[in-house]
Chain A
Amino acid sequence: MLEDRILILKFNRGDRRVLHRIYDKYKDDLVTLAAALLMDVSSAEDVVHDVFIAFLDSAGRFRLTGSLKGYLATCVANRARNLNKAMRRHQGPALDDVPDAPDGEPLPEQVAIFGEQLARLSRALAQLPDEQGEVLLLRSHSGMRFAVIAKAQGVSINTVQGRYRYAVEKLRSLLACEAQV
């Protein structure tokens, strides 16, 4: 998007006012991504807030290249991953070990977050390993290229493509099972 290029140009020159526009433009996508990774709206909003505070502090100190949305999505995914790990360490069961709801129904919090229509999908997403769910969301929801995800995650593009492939297969399997229930 040209607007993104102009926003990046201005941001790289230290104009922090563009953060208002950047936030308004991508807030919903980022909160959605964080919520899908964390399955908790409050934590998701905290993550997005933290990402923008860090972004704000970095204005004029580094040059942003490439996709603005991709950069922000990567930041959100990194913080969500760290938060998930911390929660597992300190608060018991992992998010991808959520107990089954009766008859394969989505859990109430999943319905509350994304609504009935997409709750089954979010439930299936929650059952994926973190790294697979992250790749799938960054690719399919945030529209990032495999090469960019690989660079952000510090792994090879083959690894990222593998994670995506496994994630899609598992998701298809999970959703097919639920459809048969």
Chain B
Amino acid sequence: MKPVRDIDNEIKQLHLGASGALDARVHADIDEALAHDPGAIRRTIMMHPMAKLAVAAAVILAGLLGLNIISGPGGGVAWAAIPGHIGEIDTFMFRMTISVGGKDTGQWTFYLSERYGFRMDIGAAGEAAASWYVAPGSDTLVTVIPSEKTWTKRPLTPEEKKMPEEYEDPADYINRFLAHGYKELGRSVIDGVEVEGIEVIDPPTKGEKLQNSVGRLWVDVETELPIRIEIEGTADGRAVRWLMEFKWGQAVDPAAFEPNIPSDYTLVGQ
């Protein structure tokens, strides 16, 4: 007789494609419902392939939805409530700074908002070498390069407007983050904010694998939202630090989503 595993595999192979007629029926019904819900048009998150690291931010954002798998570390933070807090937020800022040998080598800042749109800055030491902007509901990408005093404006390609397919399972991320166990760090203060944290050994990282790495997740005690993730380790014998900082909701200035191009900048592409 077939082993159970074979039965499972055979059942997984069952496949039937939806017909074009069903596609038309369902999509038409959704469109009809949307026609009576104009508010839905405003609720847009532009996802751009250049924002791959923003996706990493979203991995963390959405991954925290899985934090209710953690039994409370015993402090004041109600960890299980974090998904509910994040679910209410439509705007956030994520900044990732990578340091090697104690020197900052790059910084990426992402602003993502259903209400205000998308912005990404790439630079170092707080200086943006280039910024990308997409307004909510817009199909236009604005790029600003301060060092050249230039800016460009062009339509997003259909591919750029799609939801990226290369998403990582956030639950997997959190599970991997906690796979080696964690210890409570208790309370601390970061930038004047009282926080509570946990620490994991050998946390998951994307790309380069760090040796002897430690990850720390810090959550604002008052808002119960994560404000910092630090990952420290070594690569090729040099100390490496990844610092991920978050701002949520009203802590993000809506003006950050406006290009505000200086008058002496030259439009070089349209």
Contacts and interface: CB of A to CB of B under 8 A. Distances in A.
Interface of A: 1-3, 5-6, 9-10, 12-17, 19-21, 23, 27-28, 30-32, 35-36, 41, 44-45, 48-49, 52-53, 56-57, 63, 65, 113-114, 117-118, 121-122, 125, 136-137, 140-141, 168, 171-173, 175-176
Contact of B11 (A12, A13, A141): A141
Contacts of A10: 43, 45, 114
B27 A23 contact: yes
A21 to B, nearest CB: 7
Contacts of B164: 3
Contacts of B22: 27, 31, 45, 48-49
Contact of A2 (B13, B40, B169): B169
Given A5-B170, A6-B58, A13-B43, A140 B11 contact: yes
A130 B61 CA distance: 40
B82 interface: no
A168 B4 contact: yes
A156 B37 CA distance: 40
B125 interface: no
Interface string B5-32: 0011011111111110111011101100
Interface in B87-130: 87, 90, 114
A7 to B, nearest CB: 8
A45 B17 CA distance: 10
B65 interface: yes
B228 to A, nearest CB: 21
A62 B43 CA distance: 18
B77 interface: no
Interface residues of B, number: 47
Interface on chain A toward B: helix, strand, loop, or mixed SS?
helix
B29 A31 contact: no
A16 B40 contact: yes
A36 B15 CA distance: 9
Contacts of B34: 16-17
Given A17-B34, A121-B14, A2 B27 contact: no
Interface string B145-178: 0000000000000000001110111100000000
Contacts of B40: 14-17
B33 interface: yes
Given A9-B87, A31-B22, A49-B22, A140 B16 contact: no
A65 B84 CA distance: 11
A41 B65 contact: no
Contacts of A136: 11
